[in-house]
Amino acid sequence: MFLPDSLKDKVILVTGGGTGLGRSMTERFLELGAKVAITSRRKEMLESVAAELTAKYGGEVFTTGVDVRDPEAVSRMISEVWAHYGRIDVLLNNAAGNFISPTERLSHRAVDAVLGIVLHGTFYCTLEIGKRWIEAGIHGTVLNIATTYAATGSGYVVPSATAKAGVVAMTKSLAAEWGKYKIRLNAIAPGPFPTEGAWSRLMPSKELEHLFERQIPLRRMGEHIELANLASYLVSDYSSFVTGSVFTIDGGESAWTGGEFNVLDEVTPAQWDMLEAMRKKG
């Protein structure tokens, strides 16, 4: 449904764009004609990914290293991308840090590691680019990658839930405040999408994957292209009246976990027959 030049000549900056979902979204943007910049801490990894992607799709992938927890490094990184392409149209805040742990086992440094990347990093990138857009009169777009549990909270990933909830609040707040500059901000709340980065830190074991799958009505994890297509829509001009919104893409997981009676999935047809017979008997 996307025309091949849906994102033609849009300059899109993707934090954490060298791995996992960031890389998959970058690939789709390239396919749709965008010019892309990817950034994260590992510069060499980014360079080899850029070489791979340009060989596969053509187009241009600019790379620059940054630790998004450092506001001065963020400012330098954005200057570099801006100088290279002459402007930036879209910021995709995708970089994140996360791991599972009982909260009482965390040190304050562990809390800071996650809040620093997810909340501060997302805010620094957005603020730095927003100031430049406002000054230059550019109608830019920010897309933030949140999580479904930003809305509900979740045990065992409490720093991440706290930080992502902040990201959602920032998305809605700035959509309200910067609408007058024609700057749009939206967020995607993905359910589980297998990536090396997330699975190595969050999936306790291969054997326990089914526990997560069981709470997804579509009975499978997400495929990267499904998320990449939603992101492509939200950074494109097709979504020009969409701002301040959070889009859930989770195979129905949050609908399932939020519904008191959905545990009745466990009741078999024979048991339903029995329950019905008992009800009819009064």
Catalytic residue among 57, 85, 149, 181: 149
- Length of the chain measured in residues: 282
Using DSSP, state whether 54 is helix, strand or coil: helix
User: Distance between CA 159 and CA 268 in Å, rounded?
Assistant: 39
Of 147 and 236, nearer to ligand NAP (C-beta) is 147
User: Distance between CA 41 and CA 64 in Å, rounded?
Assistant: 9
Residue 18 binding result from ligand HXC, ligand NAP, none, given CB thresholds of 5 to 8 Å by partner type: ligand NAP
CB of 18 to ligand NAP, least distance (A): 5
From candidates 10, 69, 120, 184, binder to ligand NAP by CB under 6 A: 69
Of 13 and 198, nearer to ligand HXC (C-beta) is 198
From candidates 63, 75, 147, 236, binder to ligand NAP by CB under 6 A: 147
Q: Which residue is nearest to ligand NAP (CB)?
A: 197
Subset of 70-99 contacting ligand NAP (CB under 6 A): 94-98
CB of 141 to ligand HXC, least distance (A): 22
CB of 262 to ligand NAP, least distance (A): 21
**Tokens 């440094």 correspond to what residue?**
109
**Other CB atoms within 10 A of residue 259 CB:** 12
Q: What tokens appear for 161 in the block?
A: 């839930």
Residue 109 binding result from ligand NAP, ligand HXC, none, given CB thresholds of 5 to 8 Å by partner type: ligand HXC
Helices (H), the chain: 20-31, 43-57, 71-85, 108-115, 121-136, 149-152, 158-178, 196-202, 209-214, 224-235, 253-257, 269-281
Q: Is 85 a catalytic residue?
A: no
Residue 145 binding result from ligand NAP, ligand HXC, none, given CB thresholds of 5 to 8 Å by partner type: ligand NAP
User: Distance between CA 47 and CA 277 in Å, rounded?
Assistant: 66
User: Distance between CA 209 and CA 2 in Å, rounded?
Assistant: 33
Residue 63 binding result from ligand HXC, ligand NAP, none, given CB thresholds of 5 to 8 Å by partner type: none
Of 16 and 251, nearer to ligand NAP (C-beta) is 16
Residue 113 binding result from ligand NAP, ligand HXC, none, given CB thresholds of 5 to 8 Å by partner type: ligand HXC
User: Distance between CA 175 and CA 48 in Å, rounded?
Assistant: 35
CB of 271 to ligand NAP, least distance (A): 33
Amino acid at 217: P
Give me the helix-helix angle, 20-31 and 43-57, nearest 10°.
30
Q: Which residues bind ligand NAP (CB under 6 A)?
A: 15-16, 18-22, 40-42, 45, 66-69, 94-98, 117, 121, 145, 147, 190, 192-193, 195, 197-198
